[in-house]
Structure 1
């Protein structure tokens, strides 16, 4: 039996701080303290992977490597690898509530490169040790990123032919001639890992568990696809034959075309799913609980022909199902996994979820479009589920009330007994916290009662997503105490690990 609990969803990037984006510095520790005051048990974040075009944490250059943007520069300053003056004179973004990824790409990476050069006399032994410990994934990542730099950061699919083949003679020669350049990427992963482990330990010691987020797919432009092409549905020239997406839904009339290469599940089964086992194993070194995004794709996935302009003409293909998770369980034992199963429900998916036994997701913002039989209404929950007001892809609650159809808003007001005096967002929080779901999660934006301007992501759009940051002045003791009061009322208060 799982203990009733609750938590807050806010990505590392959304933390306050002085250096253009939330990071693993002092404000992350302050947020853990805020969670403790608020009697929460969980801090849920988005994927921590290194991001590329579009800045989405769900599209990373590596299934294993962490995002260098999250490295705390203050530690590098304290170590003498870079000067405080240099950092303060570098433009990492002028708006403390917004992230300018262009400036981070150009200037934070420049600061990290300078720090790497200055650290060489002092860190060589530590970096060598770290490289040897993590070589299984780190060697390929560092090599991939260094070659990528040599070709102006274009996708590996557009590299000269001899570099597209992972084990070619020219790639081997490149590695021998560029070890020092490769070790810049080792440096970034050393500090990312060191700082994240320290932050997670602090959270755990204060009774806070971390919920990580694992995208089901990898990016087409990733070291995973380049170094292990047999694991994906690629043609003889290493271009995807089919790509991932989802059919037309409530977000988009033409479906969502994600562009990720589809797995070659027959090949992966022949290897006893070794790549997936290692990916899950590594994830549980970083997190206490793992939410797997688009979990339904293991039962059946939407496959679209490479080159199609929309996802409309895709088709459903049967996934690996329980075979994959039986192997994972044989190798790794019972794991604390949350299955993101959102989308059109099917009998096959329902049976698959029962087989794996993982809790699935309920979203309050999806509950009010029909009648009392809607599976997202709290009175229809069981205990083995996680309730969210909305996810990173949804409107904050206050924005939802302004944008949802009138009949849905009226139903929500009546069902949740929302009132303006208290604040409509608090009614949503009480609706989730009072439910039978063992775990209730809300975005930080919903506790603050903010609107559309703080939405984290609008699917199928580019340029305005993943940018929101919270203001330090908003994370008050008064707010923490109010959250704690609601949490205690509904029996979800933290009592430590």
Structure 2
């Protein structure tokens, strides 16, 4: 078995769900407190969602950059403690009547002004730019162009910027130097604060599971700067888009709308863009969950003018050659395959040939006695069991709202518990399984109902906003999780 994975357990919660005084969770003291609680509960894994800049609906799976981190995760109080933000300016900005997001942006601008007084910070910033030049400068340029032209899409930029004429880009760099420098500086601060948090987690024997969406947004710095790697027409628009056919989550499928890759062009470059992307993320996390792993074997292509994902075709995708190439250039691949949905024998072979653990979701397990998600039916221990994911209801919400009478009966029969104690018995059921990892959404540990759900797949409203109450992750729940972890030998 792939020894990158050993018997362990952990918790799923995104950065945005951390509590705190800002409108979204960030890398502040609450993140460190959360790590301390995981350590007390003897958890050794923390799974997060993509660290990327979310879209207008808050989704981290649709971003303007496959590389950039969300600058709203930067914690200003830590900047002040480190001397990068003067206390008087901090209090002055905080006392203004600006919205919280604008206050944070003002504080980040102030931090850059103040950083000019510190040679060591400026030197580190310069090194960061050089190391990340592959994506960083074009990310900043793209943001400036979107702001200058108030454009919803890069295909409406003036032609000299749309098609990236060298002279135009040089002029852009000069005319908007301050804005470009600010955007890059924010990525520097993001990188710095995250790595401090990651080191704190590592010191407490906690490893980070990251997440990488297979597709990226058409309106992104990546597609704008590498249009030849995507299936686009002569105007730069995608003529086919991504999604999945009808499945457990949606009767009409999911129309994501992202452009598809030109794997032939990627191969010609030695898969350089993907290698840069994975190398970059592996500096931030210890393991990578490949979202929609199915798409690396074949993808569901939908004509760009369709309004649902029902009509489409499966088209061959990256395949074995891609992962062989990655392994040759990156070494051991600490990859988790999100192998949910329509999974064929070819997808299973791709997963198994590279010894990537797949995912088992207990909420999907109770429709029949031979369901492969039932722990007694797991055919290998190289898998990761979840009570649910960020796309599921909470376990309590699922049992009360979504499970059929037959599923409820089968669930109670296997868990041997009362309906009121479903979340913890579901956790126990997964912990006792042969799966190499058990990962539990924090909502289930806190025994929360459907109001704590993170995301409704196929919808754009009311998602990604849930935040935890740290007080609920109290000593009694920490002790209960610790004892269960020890009992099931997941330490």
Matching of residues 172-251 of structure 1 within 5 Å: 172-251=170-249
Corresponding residue of 2:91: 85
Contact 2:151 2:157 in 1 (8 A): no
Corresponding residue of 1:99: none
- 2:459 maps to 1:461: yes
- Alignment partner of 1:22 out of 25, 32, 37: 25
- TM-score, L = length of structure 2: 0.94
| In structure 2, distance between residues paired with 1:462 and 1:229 | 27
Corresponding residue of 2:67: 64
What is the deviation of 1:162? 2.6
Q: SS state of the match for residue 243, structure 1?
A: strand
- Tell me the matched-pair count: 481
Matching of residues 329-408 of structure 1 within 5 Å: 329-369=327-367, 371-381=368-378, 382-403=380-401, 404-408=403-407
Contact 2:18 2:468 in 1 (8 A): yes
Write out per-residue CA displacement over residues 445-488 of structure 1, whole angstroms, 9 at most, x where no aligned residue. 00011011111110121231110111121121221111001111
Change (3 A) 1:351 1:90: farther
Write out per-residue CA displacement over residues 303-344 of structure 1, whole angstroms, 9 at most, x where no aligned residue. 111121111111111111111000000001112110001002
What is the deviation of 1:153? 5.3
Corresponding residue of 1:413: 412
| In structure 2, distance between residues paired with 1:333 and 1:104 | 43
Contact 1:419 1:427 in 2 (8 A): no
| In structure 2, distance between residues paired with 1:62 and 1:316 | 26
Corresponding residue of 1:154: 152
Q: SS state of the match for residue 386, structure 1?
A: strand
Corresponding residue of 2:76: 73
What is the deviation of 1:81? 2.5
Corresponding residue of 1:492: 490
Contact 1:37 1:477 in 2 (8 A): no
| In structure 1, distance between residues paired with 2:127 and 2:288 | 28
Corresponding residue of 2:134: 136
- The two structures, once aligned, show a CA RMSD in angstroms of 1.7
Unaligned runs of 5+ in 1: 93-102
Contact 1:292 1:337 in 2 (8 A): yes
| In structure 1, distance between residues paired with 2:96 and 2:172 | 33
Change (3 A) 1:39 1:153: farther
Write out per-residue CA displacement over residues 357-416 of structure 1, whole angstroms, 9 at most, x where no aligned residue. 1001000011112x2211111111120000011110000000000122221121111112
What is the deviation of 1:270? 1.3
| In structure 1, distance between residues paired with 2:242 and 2:342 | 16
Of 402-411 and 167-176, deviating more is 167-176
Of 439-448 and 338-347, deviating more is 338-347
Write out per-residue CA displacement over residues 85-133 of structure 1, whole angstroms, 9 at most, x where no aligned residue. 24543578xxxxxxxxxx5554432332343334344454442232122
Q: SS state of the match for residue 289, structure 2?
A: strand
Corresponding residue of 1:96: none
